[in-house]
Each structure stands twice: as C-alpha cells, then as structure tokens.
Amino acid sequence: MKLLRSLRLPFTALCFLSASVNGANEPDPGQITISVARLFENIHYTHQRLDNAMSQRVLRNYLEALDYNHFFFTQEDVDRFNAEWAHKLDEEILNGRTLAAHQIHDVFRQRVETRIAQVKEILKEEPTFDSDRSIAINRQKVPWPANEEAAQQIWKDRIASELLQERLGKKKLDDPAKLIGKRYDQFLKNFQEQTSEDVLKTFLLCLAQTYDPHSEYLSKADLEQFSINMRLSLFGIGAKLRSEDGYAKIVELVPGGPALKSAKLKVGDRIVGVAQGESEFVDCVDLKLDNVVGMIRGKKDTTVRIQVIPVDATTATDRNIVEIRRDEVKLKDEEARAELIELPRGNGQTTKIGWIVLPSFYGDPDRAGNPNAKSTTRDVLMLLNRLKQEGIQGLVMDLRRDGGGFLDEAVNLTGLFIKKGPVVQARSWNGEVAVSRDKDPRQEYDGPMVVLVNRQSASASEIFAGAMQDYGRAVVVGDSKTFGKGTVQQMIELSRAVPFLANGTDAGAVKLTIQKFYRVAGGSTQLKGVESDIVLPSIYDQPEIGEESLKDPLPYDTFNALDFDKWDKPLHIDELRRRSMARIPNNPEFRYVMEDLTRIRTRTAENKISINEKVRQAELDEDKALKELRQGERKARAKDKEPKAYRITLDNAAKKDLIAVKFVEPKDEKEKEKEAAGAPADAEDAPSDSITEPQLDKDGRPIFKAPPFRLDPVKQETFNVLQDFIELSRGDASATVRKR
C-alpha cells in the first residue's frame, strides 16, 4: 500500500549527523540507528521528536513485532522490559545504542527455545479432547499470559487444538504429533538463523512504524526487492524458491525466464550449491533462503552454476550441475491485463465491455530520462487502445487488491480519462501544498466507465478512484469504502542522505511519510477512504481490513477544494443504485456472502475455538452441510448463457487474434479455505497457465492455454451496473437529439 514520489531533500536537515563509522567495510549499526532516528525527527510529516512518549510506543511495537500473538513472553517479562527501557529508549536510540533491542531479543530467543522444548514434551503425552476448554482464535486481542504457569497452560491448549485439527483433517498422511513437531522444528531453525542485522532491521522498522503505519526501515535486501516489485523485473534465472527441510526448493519457473528456457531445471529440484562462473561452489544446505536467492541473482549476461538434487532422483546423493546465463526476468503476473467481454442482450445483440485489471501502480524507480522505462499508464493505454479497436461500449477499471505505487502514475492514468485539470493535492507538514495536474487535453476514453474497488484498494488506487468520482467521470462500485491510506512516502537511501556512511550501500533506506494527500474536492482519503457510489456485498468489507485497523494511523482532515471542470454527462447514480439494490437480494451468491460475513463477525467477536472433539466435529459437520447445500443449489440453478470473453495482455495487444477464455461458475468454499491458509491449489484447481513445463512453439517460446475466468458475483453485478449505465447513456443521447 505504497504511494511514492520524488523529493529533493534539504542538506541542512541532515548535516547534524555524526561522521563516525565502524571500520571501512561496513556501516556501524549505531550510526545507522542515529541516522534513521534523525531523519524521522526532521523529515517525517509529523515532525515528532523522539521523546519519552514515543519511547514507550517504540517499545510496545517492538514487543508486538517479536511476539505478535502473545505466545512467548509473559506479562512479567513485559513489565520488566517496561521498567527498564520504556522511559529511556529514546536516549538509547539517539545515542546510537542498540543494547535494548538485543537484550529483549535474547530473552525472546530463550522463550522460543523453552516453548519449543515444552511442545516436544507435550507431544509425547497421550492427548485427550473431551475438556470444555477453548483457545483464542486471535491472541493479539488478549493479554500476555500472566506468568510462566499461565504460559504453559496456553501452550498445552494450543498444541491440543493443533492435534485436534490434524486428527479431524481429511488427509491423514502422517502422524499428527510427528507433523506438528516437524513444523515447530522448522520454526525454531528459521528463528535461530536470524543475525544481528536482522535484529537491528526489526527494531528500526518498529521505530519507523511508531511514526505511522506506512513508514519503514529497509535493509539492503529489502530495498532491492522493493525496486523489483516496482519495475516488475529482475536479473536472475527466473526460479521461485521455498525453504523446505534445509533445502532451497524450486516451486515455480517463471514463464520466459532463463531457467525455463534452458529446460535444465524442474519444479521440485533442490538446490545444494551455487557457484559464480567458474568459482568454487558454496554449500547451500541449511543456508538462509535470502542468501541463496542473493547468490543466484546477479548482473545480466553473467553465469551462475547451480548444483541440484533432481526431483526424480532415486537417492539424495544424486547431483546435477546446471549452468545458466542470467537475464532480465519480467514479472508478467503483476502487469496490467485486460478482458474483452461480449455480454448478450435481450434483443439478440451483444454489449462489448472492456475490463482492465491493475494489480499495482508500478514503474521503474530509476526511470528518469528513460522513455522505455516500465510504466503503468503506458501499459494501460496499450490495452485501452486495443479494447477501443474492438468497439467497447463501456469500461471497467478493476482496482480490487491494488495496494498503490507511484503517485505520478496515478496522476497520468487519471489523465487518460479526463480532458485536463488537477488530480490530487499534497500538503506538507508546514502547510505547503503541491497540486499534481493532468496538463494533456487529450481524453483517451470518454465512454461509460466503472471503477471497481474493495477494502484492499489503497493509496494510488484511492487517488485515481477519488479523482474519477470527484470529476463525475465514473461510477465507483465495490466495498463500502477503500483502504483509507491518504499519505505520501519518500524513499531515502541512507548512503545518499548520510554521506558519512562510508559503505552506505549496505546501510539500507528509510521510507517515510512526507505528505498527506487530498482530493480535488477537498476531502482526504486518510482513514475515510473513497466511499463507493454503489455498494456490493463482499467478504473483504470488514473493519479489520483498512487503515483504521493499523496502529498509530494519522488522523482524517479536510482541505480546500480546487476549481475543476466536471464531466458534462450524467452518471445516473441514483437509478443505477436502485436497479442494483433490486438485483442483489435475488442473487444467491450474494446471499452466501452475507451469510458468511455474519458468521465471520460472530466468530470474530467471540474470538474462541473449542478444543473438545465433539464440539469441533459438530462445527465441521455444520460447515460441511452448508457447503453441500450451496453446491446442490448451484447445480440446480439453470445456467445462463455464458458471455464470450477474450484475454488481452501486453504481449498480444497488437496481435490480430485474441485468446478466447471461458467463464466458470464460482467454486465451493474449498478454494477460499486454501487462499486463507496460504496453501497452493490442487493440480486440478490450478489455472492452466501456471504449469511450469509448457509446450514450445516453433521458435522455442512457451505456449500457454488461457485459464478460466471465474464469474464471481461482484464481477457479475458490475457487468449489470455497466450495462445499465450504457443503456441510460443511450437514452441521454436520444433525448438530446429529440430536443434539438
């Protein structure tokens, strides 16, 4: 949920920093700490001094970051930390001392090791599941255990719940105790791999987020990953890895990447060594995944050798050595993409609708002066031109789950749909206001338009949606409101801001809030978000998702409205809302959503789950019966005629023929459960373009079949709203002609 812009930093704000460094090879942690603290004091939007009150909040955030679910520390630990550090942590930080961070982390490590040892003892016991006890679903909402005795009881109940969950699971492929023990062994291993640099990074991140939820400290690796996410490309081999049993395991080969083109690596191969060119191999077994990834990435056209245990190896001693030349790997899954939908109308005709999905407002952070740098606006314009070529009568901009990105991309994208004028205004801490404008009078699309949002649409998405709403250019449809992030962040690399850090490239960066932005009509999106003109039932429309659910958000306020020319055609919002509200109760899928929301809210309020087998089994039986009932209702309902649909990507937008896709009915709750648990889909559920070894065309390029597009109820009703909009807009045109 990022919103970034360029900013020239005043040298005077930084000149007070000390010049001492620890050795010539790496920056001193104390100097990094001082630098980060002073930057926030002097450049953050609030200009809040790091005082006693802030000290207490930093400590609170650090404890919460380490023990997010209040499982490891006791209240006695917390009280001791508060007594020792709460009123002097600010002085420690400003003097470059990080003793508190390491001492607290050492205690946390001891608690983790103690708890895992307790888990092993608990797993040796014969479990019973007939008690009337329960555990908290979300322990963030409950206090830390009062003492060691209370902590032991919490862990007994937690392990009992996990054992019961495995016992009642459908797939009994392993002994539950063995499976859970292995899970905690991996947790302990990952934790013990943390370095002193990791401790400092966590502590400084907590310091940053004490100022507001969207400020951060980023290590060198974090900064590199941020750049990759923004420009949607990296230099490497195009293999996604996961840590498993001490190995870096290949879980996906990126389409078009060097690894897939080479046909020498396969999904499931386990990496045991990496060598640069002709250098010696570095053993990668039990090495941190980040380190393995760092060794595999590198400069374009350089060579990396990878030693793997093949997925089809008969023994663990089998080894293959694969040599691959690094190249640019484009993350196409995160690019803008489109669909051309042909919806049937009652008179035998069809309505052509364009649907553009925008995952983020991406761009190349180093794009200055580069006309070919990655750009959201350029990509959307390419898709839009193809949709216009196909004769679309309406357009949907789908910003659901779009967490934001570059400010200028939001401004430029808005410019595609308005003639010209202000898009957003940003106010600094001292009251200075900068207005970002679209100065190009060209309007690339002037037809009926819907902007689709949900609670996960944030930052740059809210700027775009807010501008479309204020200009009266589009109807905003979706959740009751968007995320509510109305702040602008600036990325500052410490090596540039603090030249005294001799080897500052390893010092990382800070991303800090420098401005709040306001809509052209004067209101802020901070906390309030952008409210939809037409609200559709959605499983995401919950107060737990949004700015108000985060710690220490900046407040909502308003500012002066600007002069701008609204769109000169009516949106018919009242009539569109009336028609939509009449349809929603008759859509069974929306009824399912409302029922699920009621159940979620009830369980969230109760915040407990039983560890009694009969009670838990009854709950599972109830859920199963509900799923089967819905599946039966779906099968019993007559299927409407499916709309024709075509996929448009940046790769095929200029080609003559488009890829036909097929809509499918919404699946049962099985898929939602997997998504919630972060589990991969079963093979039969996976879209066909996720396969890792596709057929190749005559030029050796991979061929992908188009996956089905799920016609979820929100998408279905958005089609209906846009069709109504198109119909009403035709009526306006007819009325105008008759009047003339």
Report the alpha-carbon distance of residue 22 to residue 507 in Å, rounded.
12
| Helix or strand run (H / E) with residue 65 | helix 52-66
Alpha helices, H only, 169-304: 176-192, 196-211, 220-231, 258-262, 289-296
Tell me the C-alpha to C-alpha distance, in Å, between residue 427 and each of 7, 420, 510, 558, 689.
Answer: 13, 21, 20, 11, 45
Q: What single DSSP character describes residue 134?
A: E
- The active-site residue, picked from 161, 436, 459, 729, is 459
Catalytic site includes residue 621: no
Report the alpha-carbon distance of residue 469 to residue 488 in Å, rounded.
20
237, two tokens: 């081999």
Total residues belonging to the chain: 740
Fill in the amino acid letter for 498: V
332-666+711-726: CATH topology? 2-enoyl-CoA Hydratase; Chain A, domain 1 (3.90.226)
Residues in the chain with pLDDT values less than 50: 6-24, 502, 666-709, 733-740
Residue 587 has what pLDDT?
Answer: 94
| Helix or strand run (H / E) with residue 117 | helix 99-124
Tell me the C-alpha to C-alpha distance, in Å, between residue 238 and each of 24, 80, 160, 255, 707.
Answer: 34, 48, 41, 8, 21
| Helix or strand run (H / E) with residue 57 | helix 52-66
Report the alpha-carbon distance of residue 200 to residue 177 in Å, rounded.
35
Q: What would the pLDDT profile of 329-358 be if each residue is shown by its tens digit? A: 888 888 999 999 999 877 778 899 999 999
- b/e string for 171-188 if b means 16 or more Cβ within 10 A? eeeeebbebbbeebeeeb
- Residue 539's closest CA among 484, 604, 595? 595
404, two tokens: 């934001």
Residue 644 has what pLDDT?
Answer: 87
Tell me the C-alpha to C-alpha distance, in Å, between residue 235 and each of 24, 325, 651.
Answer: 29, 10, 20
- The active-site residue, picked from 481, 485, 511, 715, is 485
Contacts of 370 (CB under 8 A, 6+ apart): 364
Please, what is the Cα angle at 182 between 186 and 293, to 5 degrees?
30
Residue 257 has what pLDDT?
Answer: 87
Hey, CA dihedral for 266, 267, 268, 272, is it positive or negative?
positive
Determine how many CB atoms are found less than 10 A away from the CB of residue 322: 17
* Widest Cα–Cα separation across the chain: 88
Beta pairing class for 449-453 and 509-518: unpaired
Beta pairing class for 609-610 and 644-648: unpaired
502, two tokens: 């001799």
What are the residue boundaries of the structural domains of the chain, listed by start? Answer: 52-196, 233-330, 332-666+711-726, 667-707
Residue 434 has what pLDDT?
Answer: 95
Residue 639 has what pLDDT?
Answer: 64
Report the alpha-carbon distance of residue 208 to residue 7 in Å, rounded.
19
Q: What is the DSSP string of 623-656?
A: HHHHHHHHHHHHHHSPPPPPPEEEEE-TTTTTSS
Catalytic site includes residue 470: yes
CATH architecture for residues 233-330 = Roll (2.30)
Determine how many CB atoms are found less than 10 A away from the CB of residue 243: 18
- The active-site residue, picked from 269, 470, 479, 541, is 470
Phi-psi region of 70 (alpha: psi -120 to 50; beta: other; left: phi over 0): left
Catalytic site includes residue 485: yes
Q: Using alpha carbons only, how large is the chain's radius of gyration in Å?
A: 28
